[in-house]
Structure 1
Amino acid sequence: MTTVYDIPPDLLIRKVAGELKELDAIEAPEWAGFAKTGVHKEMPPKDEDWWYIRAASLLRRVYIDGPVGVQRLRSFYGGKMDRGSMPSSFRKGSGSVTRKILQQLETAGYIENTPEGRRVSPAGRSFLDGAANSLKETVAESIPAIAKY
């Protein structure tokens, strides 16, 4: 069976984001249209579906790294902040965006909260592996090593 590790992240995230958009549990709040994704950003995202793309990316990240907490995920989605004539410095990503998406993924049943941190539930693992398996033929044409899985 093809898993998340066998498919390029950009293809998998787009596929999962499209499927998450159809769920009622995952929905962008009203403020998501003009909120930045961290203090290191100057403008909010231009893509209207950025909430679903971030949700798919977070689900994949929890699958790979799990169990993880919000602070560690904030570090992953952080970046360099331009400080003018001073040297750039690293800043973490938005905790509110990360937390709200994780809560929505918990409501959908794809993530479970444990004392060690959040991890992917069996339903979430099945969902991601199914998405990866459906992309296998698409990727197999461009990467021959995946065809044997």
Structure 2
Amino acid sequence: RVCTLLGARDLTGRSYPASGANGGFHGLSHHAERPATIAEYSKLNRYHVSMMSYFVQKLRAIPDGDGTLLDHSLTLYGTNMGNSNQHLHYDVPHILVGGANGQLKGGRHLAYSTKTVTTGNLLLSILDMYGTHQDSIGDSTGRLEKL
């Protein structure tokens, strides 16, 4: 089973009143290093992460075989830019949650070289976990070690 949940397109001007932020997502993402705008953008990001947490709690509460749906799934939460103000496509943060049917060890923070590792590398590694082998995805340079 595969599920894709997209909160909004990258270029969305959508605001999220529940976040407490004043402004739309895309406009705030181009914060020009202004502390006040970064603070508003941070409110949006904290709100989105709280929604991810809510989703994970729901997965944890659903029994599935010898564990929970969280144990038997893998959720990737992330973005497409490391610094949206400058449209930088390195230092891109991602969060993996779930056990991936016992293939993913949790409770770790892994950091990879930003010069050689792309999001494509992460996606290749995830496909490998599920037995779907590809030679490459986008600008991938290989698989992630220690994942």
TM-score by length of 1: 0.30
Would you tell me which structure has more strand in proportion to its own residues? 1
Higher relative contact order (CA 8 A, sep 6+): 1
Query: Structure 2-normalised TM-score?
Result: 0.30
